[in-house]
C-alpha cells in the first residue's frame, strides 16, 4: 500500500502561544492558505459527488440495482473467486457475468416475461429465473443470444480500458469474457447456443452434446462434467417432447425462413467476432 503522506489528513496545528500571536499586536491567521485550498477541492469533489448521486437517483439507477442482482450471491462469489485470482480480477469477472446475464433479463422483459435478477453460483457462473423463455422458438433464440451479445460488448469495453490504461488486467478480463461467451454458444441446451438452435436446427443439439464429450476427456473438471450431464438430460428431454408434443410443439418450433436466417447470421457472426477478440487479447505466458 502506498503510504505517501500526501494522502493522509493534514496534521493538526499546535495553537500559538500568546507571545507568538501578539508580537506586533495584530491577530495572526488561524487557517493556512494550503488548508483553505484543500478544503475548497474537497468541497468541489463533494458537490460533484452529490450531483452524480442526484442524477442516478433521478433516473432510478440506485433503485434498480437491488432488484437486478442478489447482493448476497455476488459477495459469496466474489470471495470465492478472489481466493483463486485476487480481488481485482474477481470483481471484473463478476461484472462480466453480470453484463451477460442482464442481456437475458432485458430480452425476457422485452418478451413480456417477468425475470429475476442474476443469481451468482461460485464456479458455475450465474443464472436468471423465469417462468419461460418465450412463446416460441424464435423468442427463445432471441433470449439466448441476448446474453452473448451484451456479454461480448462488455468484454470489448475491457479492450478499450486496456488500451487507455496499459494495465494487462483488463486484457485478461477481455480474453476471459470472450471465451465465456464463446463457450456459451456451444449448440447444446441449456447453453445459449442451444437456445439459438431451437430456432435454426434443433438436431444440432446432438452435435453440441457430442462436442462436449472431448472437452470432458481432454480437460476433465467438475464444471465441464456437470454441464455435460445437464446437457445430456436436457437434450433427451427436449427431443422426446418435440417428437410427442403434437401440434403445440410443432407450432412452437415453426419459424419463418427469414427469421431462421437472421438467427443463423447473428449466431455465426458472434462466433467469428469472439474468436477474433480472443486472438487479439491473448497474452502469451512466459516463463522466466
CB of 277 closer than 8 Å to CB of 156: yes
pLDDT for the residue 8? 31
Q: Please give the C-alpha separations between residue 205 and each of 37, 216, 252, in angstroms, as whole numbers.
A: 66, 17, 17
pLDDT for the residue 217? 86
Residue numbers of the chain with a pLDDT score lower than 50: 1-27, 29-31, 34, 38, 41-43, 45-46, 48-50, 52-69
pLDDT for the residue 125? 81
pLDDT for the residue 225? 85
Q: Residues 6 or more apart from 199 whose CB is under 8 A from it?
A: 137, 138, 140, 141, 253, 255, 259, 260, 263
pLDDT for the residue 63? 40
pLDDT for the residue 248? 80
- The rounded mean pLDDT for the chain is 78
CA 69, CA 101: separation in Å to the nearest integer?
Answer: 10
End-to-end CA distance of the chain: 26
**What nine digits make up the cell of 32?**
493556512
Q: Residues 6 or more apart from 106 whose CB is under 8 A from it?
A: 146, 150
Burial of residue 60 (number of CB atoms within 10 Å: 0-12, 13-18, 19+): exposed
If DSSP states are collapsed to H, E and C, what string results for the chain? CCCCHHHCCCCCCCCCCHHHHCCCCCCCCCCCHHHHHHHHHHHHHHHHHHHHHHHHHHCCHHHHHHHHCCHHHHHHHHHHHHHHHCHHHHHHHHHHHHHHHHHHHHHHHHCCCCECCCEEECCCEEECCECCCCCCHHHHHHHHHHHHHHHHHHHHHHHHHHHHHCCHHHHHHHHHHHHHHHHCCCCCCCCHHHHHHCCCCCCHHHHHHHHHHHHHHHCCCHHHHHHHHHHHHHHHHHHHHHHHCCHHHHHHCCCCHHHHHHHHHHHHHHHHHHHHHHHHHCCCCCCC
pLDDT for the residue 192? 93
pTM: predicted TM-score of the whole model, two decimal places: 0.70
CA 116, CA 135: separation in Å to the nearest integer?
Answer: 18
* pLDDT tens-place string over residues 150-186: 999 999 999 999 999 999 999 999 999 999 999 999 9
Q: Which residues pair with 119 in a beta bridge?
A: 127
Amino acid at each position: 500500500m502506498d503510504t505517501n503522506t500526501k494522502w493522509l489528513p493534514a496534521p493538526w496545528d499546535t495553537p500559538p502561544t500568546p507571545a507568538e500571536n501578539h508580537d506586533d499586536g495584530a491577530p495572526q491567521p488561524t487557517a493556512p492558505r494550503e488548508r483553505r485550498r484543500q478544503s475548497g477541492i474537497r468541497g468541489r469533489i463533494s458537490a460533484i459527488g452529490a450531483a452524480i448521486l442526484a442524477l442516478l437517483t433521478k433516473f432510478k439507477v440506485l433503485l434498480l440495482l437491488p432488484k437486478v442482482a442478489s447482493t448476497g450471491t455476488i459477495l459469496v462469489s466474489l470471495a470465492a473467486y478472489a481466493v483463486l485470482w485476487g480481488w481485482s480480477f474477481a470483481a471484473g469477472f463478476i461484472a462480466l457475468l453480470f453484463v451477460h446475464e442482464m442481456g437475458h433479463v432485458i430480452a425476457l422483459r422485452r418478451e413480456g416475461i417477468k425475470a429475476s435478477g442474476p443469481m451468482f453460483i461460485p464456479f458455475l457462473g450465474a443464472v436468471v429465473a423465469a417462468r419461460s423463455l418465450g412463446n416460441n422458438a424464435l423468442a427463445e433464440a432471441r433470449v439466448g443470444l441476448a446474453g452473448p451479445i451484451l456479454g461480448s460488448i462488455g468484454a470489448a469495453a475491457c479492450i478499450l480500458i486496456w488500451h487507455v490504461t496499459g494495465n494487462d488486467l483488463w486484457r485478461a478480463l477481455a480474453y476471459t469474457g470472450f471465451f465465456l461467451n464463446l463457450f456459451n454458444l456451444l449448440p447444446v441446451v441449456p447453453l445459449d447456443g442451444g437456445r439459438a438452435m431451437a430456432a435454426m436446427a434443433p438436431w444440432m443439439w446432438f452435435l453440441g452434446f457430442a462436442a462436449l464429450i472431448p472437452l470432458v476427456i481432454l480437460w476433465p473438471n467438475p464444471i465441464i462434467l456437470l454441464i455435460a450431464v445437464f446437457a445430456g438430460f436436457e437434450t433427451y428431454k427436449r427431443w422426446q417432447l418435440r417428437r410427442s408434443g403434437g401440434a403445440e410443439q410443432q407450432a412452437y418450433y415453426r419459424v419463418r425462413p427469414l427469421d431462421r436466417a437472421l438467427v443463423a447470421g447473428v449466431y455465426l457472426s458472434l462466433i467469428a467476432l469472439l474468436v477474433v477478440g480472443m486472438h487479439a487479447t491473448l497474452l502469451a505466458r512466459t516463463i522466466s
